[in-house]
Copies of this chain bind each other. A is one copy, B any other.
Amino acid sequence: MLKNCFEVVTLNNLLTMKVGDKYYRTIWLTEDEKAVNIIDQRFLPHKFVIEKLRTTEDFIVAIRDMHVRGAGLIGVTAAYGMYIASLEGMQMKDFNDYLTEAGKKIKATRPTAVNLSWAVDKMLEEIFKEKINENKVKKALNTANEIMLEDIEISRKIGEHGVKLIEEISRKKSGEVVNVLTHCNAGWLAFVDYGTATSPIYAAFEKGIKIHVWVDETRPRNQGASLTAWELENCGIPYTIIVDNAGGHLMQNGMVDIVIVGTDRTTSTGDVANKTGTYLKALAAKDNNVPFYVALPTTSIDWNISDGIREIIIEQRGDEEVKYISGLAEDGTIKKVLITPANSNTANYGFDITPARLITGLITEKGVIQANKESLEKIRNQTN
């Protein structure tokens, strides 16, 4: 039985996701437009918790401590953070300085996230076009809303283009189940709606194409096992959780038809920075002739760099993500347990680089292209 997990609902006239019997986007303004609601993703998949962000500091904590995460959603959250900063600062003499300072603080929360600084810069640029404080605030709200709507539209288009790849495989397999493998969560929860890597999956499911998703657990933060699995479960899309180690075996045995992942940053030559472990899956895909696609908004392309391994600095995160793991204990509470010797050293590189040579194609809102300088350059100035 097909469940339609995306429906147009009246809440601000935006496409939103159904969770239980309510429809949500991953971020939305409160009715009085004085605060912003998010889903505190740290509690998923065990609890669905909505958090209200009222101050710039709330936004900083929410982004830094990963209540929200994911390229698109970080950008949109940062944009709304700047709007809230404008509400806070509008009575101050040094309103502009306050905004600039807030922007710096918000940018510093997740240094690798390109959308984050892009959104903050865009907000400041637009806000500073206005002279009057009240107009600055209005402009902030409008710009944040626009960034949010654009995020949804980009995700939708990535699905529209990417679904053709899945349809093609489905045709070749005479309608048999298409097995997609994905790593981490470049999903609905990582954007405002649809996601990027998941958008073609959702689109295929809506079209009635038989599909099954291998969900990489994605240590150390387990975004696959907790977030992607939760999303797919919620939509009724068949999926199976595997440990990150298992994908190679599956590909060796013809159990994966296509890999689709997201990305945090793509170079002008098509190298891709994504969640640590992506590179290993790309190697296995190459070794077994499995098509490997990366879904991305063209806004996440960094046109200034051309060598991912040399030029992208990989964020190192804390020890505790490796040493401890959170889950639902028998008593129904979420508990943290230590899974290493207490004194162990760990290293925690959050991302890795998948070189363009391992990538079959990039699924963008402007179409599916090859991962190379020429193809990227061609879409650079193309309108959608």
- What is A's interface to B at a CB cutoff of 8 Å? 45-46, 214, 217-220, 222, 225-226, 229-230, 233, 238-250, 252-253, 275-277, 279-281, 283-284, 287, 309, 314, 322-330, 334-349, 351-353
Taking the nearest CB of chain B, how far is it from the CB of A350, in angstroms?
A: 9
A279: contacting residue among B230, B249, B275, B336, CB under 8 A: B249
A45: contacting residue among B225, B245, B248, B341, CB under 8 A: B341
Taking the nearest CB of chain B, how far is it from the CB of A246, in angstroms?
A: 5
Residues of chain B lying within 8 A (CB to CB) of residue A248: 276-277, 279-280, 283, 352
Residues of chain B lying within 8 A (CB to CB) of residue A245: 218-220, 244, 275-277, 280, 352
Give the CA-CA distance A353 to B245 in the complex, in Å.
Answer: 12
- Cβ contact within 8 Å between A344 and B249: no
Give the CA-CA distance A238 to B344 in the complex, in Å.
Answer: 9
| 8 new A-B contacts at CB < 8 Å, known A238-B345, A239-B345, A245-B276 | A45-B341, A233-B341, A242-B346, A245-B275, A245-B277, A249-B351, A325-B337, A329-B329
- Cβ contact within 8 Å between A225 and B339: yes
Taking the nearest CB of chain B, how far is it from the CB of A164, in angstroms?
A: 28
Tell me if A's interface is mostly helix, strand, loop or mixed.
mixed
Residues of chain B lying within 8 A (CB to CB) of residue A246: 276-277, 347-349, 352
- Cβ contact within 8 Å between A284 and B276: no
Taking the nearest CB of chain B, how far is it from the CB of A231, in angstroms?
A: 10
- Cβ contact within 8 Å between A335 and B335: yes
Contacts A45-B341, A242-B347, A329-B337 given; does A284 touch B279 at CB 8 Å: yes
Looking across the interface, which residue of chain B has its beta carbon closest to that of A345? B240
Give the CA-CA distance A281 to B324 in the complex, in Å.
Answer: 24
Give the CA-CA distance A250 to B277 in the complex, in Å.
Answer: 11
Looking across the interface, which residue of chain B has its beta carbon closest to that of A337? B327
Residues of chain B lying within 8 A (CB to CB) of residue A222: 339
List, sorted by A's number, 6 A–B pairs whose CB atoms are closer than 8 Å: A45-B341, A244-B277, A249-B276, A283-B283, A324-B327, A327-B337
- Cβ contact within 8 Å between B284 and A322: no
Tell me which of A238, A324, A345 has the highest count of chain B C-beta atoms within 10 A of its own C-beta: A345
Residues of chain B lying within 8 A (CB to CB) of residue A233: 341, 343-344
Looking across the interface, which residue of chain B has its beta carbon closest to that of A343? B233
Taking the nearest CB of chain B, how far is it from the CB of A351, in angstroms?
A: 8
Tell me which of A229, A309, A314, A342 has the highest count of chain B C-beta atoms within 10 A of its own C-beta: A229
Taking the nearest CB of chain B, how far is it from the CB of A278, in angstroms?
A: 8
Give the CA-CA distance A338 to B229 in the complex, in Å.
Answer: 13
Looking across the interface, which residue of chain B has its beta carbon closest to that of A233? B341
- Cβ contact within 8 Å between A252 and B229: no
Give the CA-CA distance A275 to B346 in the complex, in Å.
Answer: 21
Give the CA-CA distance A343 to B348 in the complex, in Å.
Answer: 30
